[in-house]
C-alpha cells in the first residue's frame, strides 16, 4: 500500500519534472549559456532585496526571544520599518571628520560591500536540466561562475573582507576605531584557520573543491549504506554535517560567526568598550554601506555553510512533498536558517572576553579541527569510494599531460 | 585581442602598484599597494589558466600575509610618514642593482629553459591549472615535486617553532 503510494507520487513527480526540462536551443539561442546570467541576476536581486528584511527579521526574532514586542509602529507587525530606516539613513547628515586619511576613509565601506558581494559569484543555487539535440539529458548548476576553485574563491572573498574593516579603523584616525580594526584583523586571521580546516574535512570526503560537485557528492545514501530505502538518498542524513561526523560543522559554525564579527564575537564593534569600534567615525550612507556589507557577508557565509554542510539545493528527504519544492527554495530556506541561528545567538549569548576569544580559536578549535582532519583522512580511506572521477587512468593521463609545456 | 587589452591593463595596475609600494612614504599605503599588486598577479594567474595558483595567491598573500603586515604596522603605529630613514645609507643603490640583476637572470632563464613561445591549446591549458591537475601532478610518484613541497612546509614549521622559542625566552 505504502510502496504503491510512493510509486504513484514518484510517477507524478517525474511527470511534473519533465515539464521543467528545457531544450538546449530555443529559437537559435543556446539556453545553457544564459544560465550564469540568470543566476547572477537572481543572487544579486535576492541578496540586495532581502537586506532590509533581514534587519526586520532580526528585530522581530530578538523581540520574541527576549519577550519584547519588537517593531510594531509602521505597517503590519512593523513591516514598513526597514524602508523607513533606509530613508532615514539616506537623509542623515554626512559628516566628514577632520584629520582623516580621506581616500582610504571613503574607500573602506565600498571594499567591505564589494568583497562581500563578490563571494556570491560561485554560489550554486540549484540545478537545471537540459535536453540536447540527440534527446540526451544533462544538468547544469545555476551559478554565475562554475569554477573549479569555488570553495577557495569563497575563502578568499571572506578573508579579503577584513580589509574594509582594517582600513576603516586606520583611516578614521581614532583610537577606538583603530582598536576595532586591530581586533577584527586578529580575530579573522585566527578563525580563518579553523574554518579552512573544517572545510578541508568536507573536501576530503567530496573529493572536489567545486561547490556543485560538493553538493552532488552529498546526493548519496547516508554513509554509502546501500540497503537503506531510496527516500534517504541525498536526505538530511547524508549531508556532510553528519557524514563528516558533526565536529566540522560545529567548528565551521563557530568560525563563521567570528568571521563576520557577530555576537558573541562582535569585539571589533564592542559598544561598551570601543564606542562603535571600527565604524565610530562613519555616518549616514557610509555607515549603512558597512551595515549592508556585514549582512551580505553573513548571507554569503551562510550560503557556503548551506551548500557545503547542509546539502545545498537537495530536499531533506527524497520523497513526495519535499521533492515538489524547487531546489533554490530549499537553498534559500537553509541560508535563512543560518541567519536565524545568527540572530538566536545574538539574542541569548553575552560577548566573549578578548583572551577567551583567542583561546577558543587557537587552543581549542584549531587543534580539534586538525585532529579531526587526520581522523577523517583515515576514515575516507576505508569508507566506500564516492569519488569515481579520480581513477588510476586519470593519474596516468595527467602524468603525460602535466610535464609538457 | 581582449586578452591583450586585459594584459596591458593588468600590467599597468601591477607595475603602478609595485612602484607605489616602493615609493610611498606611509607604510600603510605601501602595504595596500602591495595588496593591489598581489591581486593583479592573481588575475594574471587566472588569465593563464592557473586558477588554483590564482586562488591560493589571494587566500595566502592578499588574505593572510598582508593582513598580518597591516596588523603589525598598525600595532607599532607607524602611521606618521617616516622620512629620511634611508638617507645616507646606500640601500637605494643596492636595491636598484639587485633588481637589475634579478631582471637579467629572468631574461637569461627565458633563453636557457626554453619558456614556450607559442601558446598551447586553451583546453590543454585549462586542464593543467585546475585543483585536480595540480594535486595529481604534485602527488604523482613519477614526478619529483612532492619532496620539495614537503621540505618547504617543514621549513615553515621550523620558522614557526623558532618564533615561539624566541618569544618565550624573553618572558
Give pLDDT, residue A401. Answer: 41
Q: How far apart are CA A154 and CA A118, in angstroms?
A: 9
Of A167, A182, A395, the CB nearest to B75: A182
Nearest residue to A362 (alpha-carbon basis) of A261, A244, A251? A251
CB A167 to CB B52 under 8 A?
A: no
Does pLDDT of A396 surpass 60?
Answer: no
Grid cell in block for residue A388: 569515481
Pairwise CB contact (< 8 Å): B131 & A152: yes
Among B51, B54, B70, pick the best mutation site for testing chain A contact (most A Cβ within 10 A): B70
Contact between B74 and A166 using a beta-carbon 8 Å cutoff? yes
More confident residue, A228 or A399: A228
Averaged over A76-83, what is the pLDDT?
84
A72 in contact with B, Cβ within 8 Å: no
Q: Worst-scoring range by mean pLDDT, A47-51, A129-133, B84-88?
A: B84-88
- Spatial distance between the Cα atoms of B49 and A150, rounded to a whole number of angstroms: 15
pLDDT surpassing 80 at residue B155? yes
The verdict on A395 touching B (C-beta cutoff 8 Å) is yes
pLDDT of A394 reads 39
Report chain A residues whose CB lies below 8 A from the CB of B58: 156, 159-160
Which of the four pLDDT bands, split at 50, 70 and 90, describes residue A335? Answer: very high
| A318 Cβ neighbours under 8 A, 6+ residues apart | A230, A231, A232, A233, A234, A235
State residue A83's pLDDT score: 85
pLDDT grade, residue A311 (50/70/90)? Answer: confident
A399 band by pLDDT with thresholds 50, 70 and 90: very low
> Does residue B11 have a pLDDT over 70?
yes
b/e burial code for range B46-77 (CB count within 10 A of at least 16 → b): beebbbbbbbbbbbebbbbebbebbbebbeee
Model pLDDT, residue A299 = 92
At residue B12, the pLDDT reads: 93
| Mean pLDDT value across residues B110-127 | 67
Check residue B68 and give its pLDDT: 83
Is residue A14 pLDDT above 70, yes or no?
A: no
Using the beta-carbon criterion (under 8 Å), do B136 and A394 form an inter-chain contact?
yes
pLDDT of residue A218: 87
**Does the beta-carbon distance from A163 to B67 stay under 8 Å?**
yes
Asked if the C-beta of A403 comes within 8 angstroms of chain B's C-beta atoms, the answer is yes
Please report, rounded to a whole number, the percentage of residues in chain A having pLDDT higher than 90: 12
Averaged pLDDT score across all residues of chain A: 83
CB distance A152–B52 less than 8 Å? yes
Question: Which one has a higher pLDDT value, B84 or A287?
Answer: A287
pLDDT confidence of residue A192: 87
Tell me the nearest-neighbour CA distance from A157 into chain B, angstroms. Answer: 8
Lowest mean pLDDT among A195-199, B25-29, B98-102: B25-29
Q: Answer yes or no: is pLDDT of A268 > 90.
A: no
> Which residues from chain A sit within 8 angstroms of residue B80, using beta carbons?
none
> Mind listing the pLDDT tens digit for each residue in A246-262?
899 999 999 999 888 88
Residue range A382-402: mean pLDDT, rounded: 46
User: Touching check for A402 and chain B: CB below 8 Å?
Assistant: yes
Q: Which residue of B has its CA nearest to A193?
A: B64
pLDDT of residue A333: 92
How buried is residue A231: exposed, middle or buried, by Cβ count under 10 Å (0-12/13-18/19+)? Answer: middle
Contact call for A153 and B55, based on CB within 8 A? yes
Model confidence band, residue A161 (pLDDT cutoffs 50, 70, 90): confident
Mean pLDDT across A308-335:
86
pLDDT (tens digit, 9 = 90+) per residue, A150-159?
A: 898 888 888 8
Q: Measured between CA atoms, how close is A160 to chain B, in angstroms? A: 5
Q: Do B132 and A148 touch (CB under 8 A)?
A: yes
Please give the pLDDT value at position A260: 86
Average pLDDT over residues A348-356: 86
* pLDDT band of B82, cuts 50, 70, 90: low
| Distance from the A189 Cα atom to the nearest Cα atom in chain B, whole angstroms | 7
A100 touches chain B (CB under 8 A): no
Contact A181 B74 (CB under 8 A): yes
What mean pLDDT do residues B136-160 have?
88
Percent above pLDDT 70 for chain B: 85
Q: State the pLDDT at residue B50.
A: 84
A chain contacts of residue B120, beta-carbon cutoff 8 Å: 404-405
How many contacts (CB atoms, under 8 Å) link A and B?
103
For residues A250 and B114, which has the higher predicted lDDT (pLDDT)?
A250
Q: Are strands A137-141 and A25-26 parallel, antiparallel or unpaired?
A: unpaired
Interface test with B, best of A119, A122, A166, A213 (most B CBs within 10 A): A166
Interface touch A185/B71, C-beta < 8 Å? yes
Is the confidence at residue B102, as pLDDT, over 60?
A: yes
Q: For residue B51, give the nearest of A149, A166, A192 by CB distance.
A: A149
Residue with the three cell numbers 561547490: A211
Task: Work out the average pLDDT over A4-12.
Answer: 70
Upper half-sphere CA count for residue A20 (Cβ side, 13 Å): 14
Taking CA–CA distances from A184, the nearest residue in chain B reads: B71
Comparing alpha-carbon positions, the chain B residue that sits nearest to A151 is B55
Question: Which is more confidently placed, A235 or B126?
Answer: A235
- Select from A43, A36, A120, A126 the least CA-distant residue to A327: A126
**A210 or A14, which is more confident:** A210
Contacts of A374-377 spanning 24+ positions with Cβ under 8 A: A375/A245, A376/A201, A376/A204, A376/A205, A376/A244, A376/A245, A376/A248, A377/A204
Q: Assess contact for A285 and A373: CB atoms under 8 A.
A: no
Q: Are strands A137-141 and A127-131 parallel, antiparallel or unpaired?
A: antiparallel
User: Distance of CA A112 to CAs A131, A164, A181, B117, Å?
Assistant: 41, 4, 13, 41
Binary contact (A390, B132; C-beta < 8 A): yes
The reported pLDDT for the residue numbered A243 is 85
Cβ–Cβ of A159/B63 closer than 8 Å? Answer: yes
- Considering only residues A344 and A137, tell me which one the structure prediction assigns the higher pLDDT: A344
CA-based nearest distance B51→chain A, Å: 7
Q: What structural domains does chain B harbor?
A: 1-79 (1.20.120.1200)
**Does the pLDDT at position B115 exceed 70?**
no
Residue with cell 588569465: B47
Please give the grid coordinates belonging to residue A193.
584557520
Cβ distance A270 to A277 under 8 Å? yes
pLDDT in tens, A84-115: 888 888 888 888 887 787 888 888 899 889 99
A295-305 residue pLDDT tens: 999 999 999 99
Q: How many CA atoms lie within 13 A of A13 on its CB side?
A: 15
Residues of chain A with C-beta less than 8 angstroms from the C-beta of B157: none
Amino acid at each position: 500500500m505504502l510502496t504503491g503510494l510512493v510509486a504513484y507520487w514518484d510517477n507524478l513527480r517525474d511527470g511534473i519534472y519533465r515539464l521543467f526540462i528545457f531544450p538546449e536551443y530555443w529559437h537559435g539561442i543556446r539556453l545553457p549559456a544564459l544560465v550564469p546570467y540568470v543566476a547572477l541576476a537572481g543572487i544579486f536581486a535576492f541578496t540586495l532585496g532581502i537586506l532590509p528584511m533581514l534587519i526586520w527579521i532580526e528585530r522581530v526574532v530578538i523581540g520574541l526571544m527576549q519577550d519584547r514586542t519588537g517593531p510594531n509602529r509602521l505597517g503590519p507587525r512593523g513591516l514598513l520599518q526597514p524602508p523607513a530606516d533606509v530613508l532615514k539613513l539616506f537623509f542623515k547628515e554626512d559628516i566628514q571628520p577632520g584629520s582623516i586619511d580621506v581616500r582610504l576613509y571613503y574607500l573602506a565601506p565600498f571594499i567591505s560591500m564589494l568583497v562581500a558581494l563578490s563571494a556570491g559569484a560561485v554560489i550554486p543555487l540549484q540545478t537545471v536540466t537540459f535536453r540536447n539535440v540527440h534527446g540526451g539529458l544533462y544538468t547544469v548548476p545555476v551559478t554565475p561562475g562554475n569554477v573549479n576553485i569555488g570553495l577557495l574563491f569563497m575563502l578568499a572573498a571572506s578573508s579579503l573582507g577584513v580589509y574594509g574593516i582594517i582600513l576603516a579603523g586606520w583611516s578614521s584616525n581614532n583610537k577606538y576605531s583603530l582598536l576595532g580594526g586591530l581586533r577584527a584583523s586578529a580575530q579573522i586571521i585566527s578563525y580563518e584557520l579553523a574554518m579552512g580546516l573544517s572545510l578541508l574535512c568536507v573536501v576530503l570526503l567530496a573529493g572536489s573543491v567545486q561547490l556543485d560537485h560538493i553538493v552532488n557528492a552529498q546526493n548519496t545514501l547516508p554513509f554509502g549504506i546501500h540497503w537503506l530505502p531510496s527516500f534517504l538518498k541525498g536526505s538530511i542524513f547524508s549531508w556532510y554535517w553528519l557524514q563528516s561526523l558533526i565536529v566540522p560543522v560545529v567548528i565551521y559554525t563557530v568560525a563563521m560567526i567570528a568571521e563576520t564579527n557577530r555576537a558573541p564575537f562582535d569585539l571589533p564593534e564592542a559598544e561598551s568598550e570601543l564606542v562603535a569600534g571600527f565604524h565610530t567615525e562613519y555616518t549616514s550612507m557610509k555607515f549603512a554601506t558597512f551595515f549592508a556589507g556585514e549582512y551580505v557577508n553573513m548571507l554569503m557565509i551562510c550560503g557556503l555553510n548551506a551548500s557545503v554542510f547542509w546539502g545545498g539545493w537537495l530536499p531533506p528527504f527524497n520523497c513526495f512533498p519535499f521533492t515538489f519544492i524547487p531546489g533554490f527554495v530549499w537553498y534559500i530556506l537553509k541560508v535563512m536558517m543560518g541567519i536565524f541561528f545568527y540572530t538566536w545567538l545574538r539574542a541569548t549569548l553575552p560577548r566573549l572576553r578578548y583572551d577567551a576569544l583567542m583561546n577558543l580559536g587557537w587552543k581549542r578549535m584549531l587543534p580539534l579541527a586538525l585532529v579531526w582532519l587526520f581522523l577523517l583522512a583515515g576514515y575516507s580511506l576505508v569508507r566506500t569510494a564516492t569519488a569515481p572521477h579520480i581513477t588510476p587512468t586519470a593519474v596516468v593521463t595527467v602524468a603525460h599531460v602535466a610535464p609538457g609545456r | 585581442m581582449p586578452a591583450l587589452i586585459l594584459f596591458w591593463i593588468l600590467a599597468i595596475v601591477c607595475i603602478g602598484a609595485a612602484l607605489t609600494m616602493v615609493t610611498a612614504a606611509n607604510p600603510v599605503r605601501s602595504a595596500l599597494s602591495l595588496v593591489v599588486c598581489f591581486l593583479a598577479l592573481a588575475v594574471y594567474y587566472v588569465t593563464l589558466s592557473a586558477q588554483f595558483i590564482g586562488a591560493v595567491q589571494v587566500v595566502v598573500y592578499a588574505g593572510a600575509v598582508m593582513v598580518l603586515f597591516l596588523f603589525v604596522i598598525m600595532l607599532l603605529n607607524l602611521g606618521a610618514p617616516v622620512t629620511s630613514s634611508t638617507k645616507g645609507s646606500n640601500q637605494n643603490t643596492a636595491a636598484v642593482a639587485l633588481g637589475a640583476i634579478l631582471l637579467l637572470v629572468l631574461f637569461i632563464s627565458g633563453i636557457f629553459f626554453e619558456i614556450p613561445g607559442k601558446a598551447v591549446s586553451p583546453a590543454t591549458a585549462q586542464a593543467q591549472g585546475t585543483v585536480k591537475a595540480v594535486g595529481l601532478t604534485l602527488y604523482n610518484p613519477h614526478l619529483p615535486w612532492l619532496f620539495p613541497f614537503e621540505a618547504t612546509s617543514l621549513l615553515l614549521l621550523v620558522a614557526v617553532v623558532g618564533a615561539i622559542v624566541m618569544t618565550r625566552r624573553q618572558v
